[in-house]
């Protein structure tokens, strides 16, 4: 049985120290369809660290497994990405199967 995760990539940190990284990993108890449903909900509802004052939100489906959300802030536009991923290994030293 596959192990599915939903990953959120976004800018985290303060004004001078922002970096793009995986901010959250959600473990999915079901199959890929469940992971896709969770990904959609996160694309629509996730509250990213930036911007603090959120305005207009636009959600784009890149594929069945990936969304890009843009949010207009007070002074700039920000974005985050939500991705469905299959976990292949927990230990980086193991060979991928």
Predicted structure pTM score: 0.84
For residue 82, give the nearest of 30, 4, 3, 7 by alpha carbon. 7
| pLDDT tens digits for range 39-68 | 999 999 999 887 777 889 999 999 999 999
Q: What are the extents of the domains in the chain?
A: 3-87
């Amino acid at each position: 049985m596959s192990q599915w995760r939903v990953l959120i990539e976004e800018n985290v940190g303060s004004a001078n120290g922002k970096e793009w990284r995986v901010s959250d990993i959600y473990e999915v108890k079901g199959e890929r369809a469940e992971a896709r449903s969770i990904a959609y909900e996160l694309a629509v509802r996730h509250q990213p660290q930036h911007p603090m004052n959120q305005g207009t939100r636009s959600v784009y489906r890149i594929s069945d497994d990936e969304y890009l959300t843009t949010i207009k802030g007070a002074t700039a536009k920000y974005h985050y990405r939500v991705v469905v991923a299959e976990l292949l290994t927990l230990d980086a030293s193991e060979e991928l199967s």
